[in-house]
Amino acid sequence: MAEPHPDNAHHDAQHGAQHEAIARWERRWLNAAGLLLVLFIVLVAYSLATEGGHIAQRSGRTSPERLSELELFATPGVTVTNLGAGRAPEVQVSVVAQSYAFNPAEILLPVGAVATFYLTSRDTQHGFQVQGTNINVQLIPGEISTFTYTFRDPGVYRVTCNEYCGIGHHNMLATIRVLYPGDLAAASAPATEGDAAAAGHAVGEGVYTANCAGCHGAAGEGVAGAFPPLAEGHVAELVAAERTYLPNVLLYGLEGPIQVRGTTYNGQMPAWSALTDEELSETMNYLMSGWGDDAALPDFAPYTPDEVAALRETPLSAQDVHAQRQGLLGN
Amino acid sequence: MAVSTAALPRVGSAHPEKRVTLAFLVTGLLALLVGALLGPLQAFNYAGINLYDDLPFLRSYYQGLTLHGVLNAFVFTTFFISGILLYLPARELGVRPDMTLAWGSYAVMVAGLVLAGWAVLTNTSSVLYTFYPPLQGHWAFYLGLTLVVLASTAVGFETIRMRARWKRQNPGRVTPLVTYMSVTTWLMWWLATTGIVLEMLFLLLPWSFGLIGGVDPELARTLFWWTGHPIVYFWVLPAYVSWYAFLPEQAGGELVSDSLARLAFIMFLLFSTPVGFHHQFTDPGIPAAWKITHSLLTMMVGIPSLLTAFTVGASLELGGRRRGGRGLLGWIPKLPWRDASFTAQVLAMISFIFGGAGGIVLASFNLNILLHNTAWIPGHFHITVGTATTLTFLGLTFWLVPHLVHKPLFAPRLALASAWAWFVGMMIFALGMHWQGYLAVPRRAQISALSGNWQGAYVDAAVPMAITGLSGAVLLVAIVLYFTVLFGTLFSRRKLSDDEVPAIPFARAAELRSEGILKVLDTLRAWFALAVLLVVVAYAPTVISMWLDQVPVPGVRLW
């Protein structure tokens, strides 16, 4: 067994010279390493001083259940404060993240605007990273993050959630469109052509695509074991059995295993009460009409915003909704 | 199990600590086998190829990713390190560890593995390696991880006690090098684990048992990264032990500076832990001044690694020249490249040059913001812990397993091939992932299963995605080759006679500074106290104010 013998160092002349050379290089190396790190630190400090300002800071704290009480997050989106006033427009952007969508899912900004962002999460941790910029913020329930950024180039920027937030995490994306003021007006104007039903359908489809398709699939096909299918008449069955169930699921979420046609699904449904009454009613109407479920229920009367508003009066828990679900369809 | 063999002469079979070491090593390597086999699936995902949804035994990509991260980065490393950092100092000192404590720690660690493994396999805890609340896993997951951590600190306790015993028997002598490095690593680990133990005991365990209704996610993150950064030094320092203490001997040279090795380890003890905020630069809840403080301290940790690069590099050069190498670079081809153990470890060191450079980028406050939570991060840690550490450990097993089981290494050329395949695969993987991260592709996302409206979201990253996919195939080959060699060795029917069993290749130290410096470096109690002080200064103001101002958030299960 070769035990170490630190005391038996070699001491002949050749090795002595070798070791002196090594010691000399060692000092040079150490000096160079120290200088290198000092250089890095100076470079970091320099770029912070010249281009800093977009680094996320805490703007405040709030418990996620009380988000809607804050004016900032009651209706998230873009507020332009002085567009066309002869100087760089100032914009306030509030964003609420929730598995698996950002609200709003599309942010329209005037080019050159000084945009101050306020972001938070309603449920679990998320990320907010904007492609091609150095915007990258951790969204933590209970924390409100803020930073200011100026978009100088028009274009479409991809926003990704870069923190794991559950099974649909990879489909949590959004877009920022930076437009010239003229294009901005056209893009933000509500659709005026077509009848009200078509406009409602577009609202429902938009909400579904942004918030629901990540789990339930673009065509409502679902994911075995986790997220039930919405197509194939399943929504029609539920609506026929109990009309209040569907709005309750959307408003309050669902927690616990359910059975659909012999298959168990056990993914958690988040609560979507942050969406408006109209968005929720149009989404449900889209679920009925999007894949032909309404054919199975010819006398279906479309949901109205008032029905949703009425159900907001009696708050339920996700477990309560599960209990309501268990009473339907005989399972 | 531990039959008393103290009366026998000191030959291999007379070392009961060999069996407990083998148990730690083999359990860790089995975890690596399962964890690593999931790896190519992750690589294919980043090439847009979704194989996860076809696996019968896993419910989702994220369950598989949880298993991959926990088994490789947590279970494999902790078991393996507990084995070697107990065994090597014991043999260096000629001291026998307390076998009851050693086997007891092993049993607790296995119990922890079973609990956490059950929780992940039943899909109750697909919370990934970082288990950030408010995603809420099963209590068995948190309890299991806690047991693994506590058992490892007990192994550290025994190593520290062995040094104390040796010191009493050898008053006035300086601690031998391997023991010195091992004890310093364990002291650093004690300091590092305080964060995660606080997180588990006060937040996650009571929460998962239903005793408290919610936890503050920002506080939990901060405690997690208190441990989560220095854990990378807990992974890499045992590799440094081998690079300093064994590799020069394997190269035919000697360690050029014993005291520089010790200085590097002292610097790691001091600067490994008070740096965790550099994982939280994008967090809103930490004041910018503290983020910058941790950023500067992180730069300090670069110094001992640069020291190591010099000392180990010079030791290898010395070996190459003793073997007849001439000229500026002529010593390189003279090194024993046919020796799988040597080659694996040198390749591991080469990967660490790139890993270290990428790490400096991440430590730089504002560059980090471009890369935080992108594919760059897994690219980075697969050439640090995934290669610098893991490939060194695999290289170690090429002599250590034969040394422990008294059997010859199975198919040494396959072993050599496995080392090259691992290195090449990981370097390709790192290229693809760093590049994707630069293009803002998020980390740990099932981008191969984008829904209709987002398909094509990452089309700008098609080239690096293809590169990452290629690496998955190479790494699959590396895994098959390595485990063929390992199992071939373990189950070989050939026994080595006592004089054929490979000895532990302790390297001689060529040069010694004055005794005075070594004595100062040997006052580990004082250095540890200084390290504790630095952690208190770096963490106490932030953690205390977070603790007093918590906004608890209820748990959610979203998988």
Q: Give per-residue pLDDT as tens, B234-293.
A: 999 999 999 999 999 999 999 988 888 999 999 999 999 999 999 999 999 999 889 988
Beta strands A106-110 and A173-179, pairing class: parallel
Q: What is the model's pLDDT at position B329?
A: 94
CB-CB: which of A37, A131, A138 is closest to B302?
A37
**Contact between residue A173 and residue A254 where contact means Cβ atoms under 8 Å apart:** no
CB-count burial class (<10 Å; 0-12, 13-18, 19+) for B110: middle
Contact B451 A214 (CB under 8 A): yes
Q: How confident is the model at residue B12 (pLDDT cuts 50, 70, 90)?
A: very low
Low-confidence ranges of chain A (pLDDT < 50): 1-11, 191, 193, 331
Q: Give per-residue pLDDT as tens, B1-11.
A: 333 433 333 43
CA-CA distance, A4 to B21, in Å (whole number)? 21
Q: What is the model's pLDDT at position A313?
A: 87
Residue B149: how many other CB atoms lie within 10 Å: 22
Residue B217: how many other CB atoms lie within 10 Å: 27
Q: What is the model's pLDDT at position B13?
A: 53
Q: Find the mean pLDDT for residues B80-106.
A: 97
Q: What is the model's pLDDT at position A288?
A: 86
Marked catalytic residue, from B74, B79, B87, B233: B233
Q: What is the model's pLDDT at position B514?
A: 67
Shortest CA distance from B300: residue in chain A: A37
Q: Is the model's pLDDT at B423 over the cut of 70? A: yes
Q: What is the model's pLDDT at position A85?
A: 57
Partners of A131 on chain B (C-beta within 8 Å) are 439-440
Residue with tokens 């001083």: A49
Q: Is the model's pLDDT at B66 over the cut of 50? A: yes
Q: Is the model's pLDDT at B167 over the cut of 90? A: yes
Which two three-digit tokens encode residue B254? 């000697």
Contact A4 B177 (CB under 8 A): yes
Query: Is residue B142 among the annotated active site residues?
Result: no
Q: CA end-to-end span of chain B, whole Å? A: 43
Q: What is the model's pLDDT at position A202?
A: 72
Q: Give per-residue pLDDT as tens, B108-152.
A: 999 999 999 999 999 999 999 999 999 999 999 999 999 999 999
Beta-carbon contacts of residue A141 (< 8 Å; ≥ 6 apart): A64, A120, A121, A122, A123, A124, A125, B134, B217, B553
Q: What is the model's pLDDT at position B211?
A: 96
Q: How far is B108 from chain A (nearest CA, A)?
A: 30
Give me the residues of B, 102-161, that contact A with CB < 8 A. 126, 128, 130, 132, 134-135
The complex's ipTM works out to 0.92
**B556 contact A CB<8A:** yes
CB-CB: which of B370, B454, B508 is closest to A8?
B508
Q: What is the model's pLDDT at position A53?
A: 55
Residue with tokens 């907010």: A128
Shortest CA distance from A47: residue in chain B: B366
What integer best gives the mean pLDDT of chain B? 93
Q: What is the model's pLDDT at position A8?
A: 43
CB-CB: which of B176, B366, B370 is closest to A44?
B366
Q: What is the model's pLDDT at position A197?
A: 65
Q: What is the model's pLDDT at position B323?
A: 93
